[in-house]
A and B are shown apart, each in its own frame.
Chain A
Amino acid sequence: DADVTQTPRNRITKTGKRIMLECSQTKGHDRMYWYRQDPGLGLRLIYYSFDVKDINKGEISDGYSVSRQAQAKFSLSLESAIPNQTALYFCATSDLPGTSGRTGELFFGEGSRLTVL
């Protein structure tokens, strides 16, 4: 089983609908992230969380919200989806770098492809 699991993997929805993308991890990491990738572009950070009680906006948080239900779960919601939110979404986790040989590297899920019509 994958260390970082995203559901759904693919979703087609209509403008105005509420959509939730879910992410769960078995890495035991405190830090979780949501990224968005558009065709031909790099990944842009939407939200990140350093622990259950810590939620932070990334560079493109408008139109999105998140919920950190537990250490292992971090959900991304689109309250009212619009076509320009059509993209590939990635969840990632990381540990605290620099301790006990930890690298602080990001571990990514396989992505959730969202299409908003």
Chain B
Amino acid sequence: DAKTTQPTSMDCAEGRAANLPCNHSTISGNEYVYWYRQIHSQGPQYIIHGLKNNETNEMASLIITEDRKSSTLILPHATLRDTAVYYCIVHFTGGGNKLTFGTGTQLKVEL
């Protein structure tokens, strides 16, 4: 599975959009981009995933560049409850679903 690079931490004002970047320059054609978040020491929670098209669900939007070497998770209206560690993972689901988590981005949403 390709490795990812994320900023260690980010701040965001409540109500504003939080844009979390992720670089995955070694991604291969059959690898998906997954995003999870972990609040305090709870189990990580799935947010969204995509292959090459942009995706949106009730939690967030995922923007993947055309060359697929980077992506951005967008929380459109961040709240204090979105304060968490966000993990970007690149993974080939067809060969086994053994996701490996890096250290992620600590997002702090403030008033």
- A residues with a Cβ closer than 8 A to B are 4, 31, 33, 35, 37, 40-45, 48, 50, 56, 58-59, 88, 90, 92, 94, 96-98, 103-111, 113
Q: Confirm or deny: B53 has a beta carbon within 8 angstroms of a beta carbon on chain A.
A: no
> Do residues B102 and A106 form an inter-chain contact, with CB atoms below 8 A?
no
Q: How far is the CB of B31 from chain A (nearest CB, A)?
A: 12
Chain B interface residue bracket vs A: 20 to 34
- Cα(A94)–Cα(B100), bound, Å: 14
Please name all residues of chain B whose beta carbon is closer than 8 Å to the beta carbon of A33 when the two chains form the complex.
98
> Do residues A110 and B43 form an inter-chain contact, with CB atoms below 8 A?
yes
Interface residue ranges of B25-51 to A (CB < 8 Å): 32, 34, 36, 41-46, 49
> Do residues B100 and A97 form an inter-chain contact, with CB atoms below 8 A?
no
> Do residues A31 and B97 form an inter-chain contact, with CB atoms below 8 A?
yes
> Do residues A103 and B46 form an inter-chain contact, with CB atoms below 8 A?
yes
> Do residues B96 and A50 form an inter-chain contact, with CB atoms below 8 A?
yes
Please name all residues of chain B whose beta carbon is closer than 8 Å to the beta carbon of A56 when the two chains form the complex.
96, 98
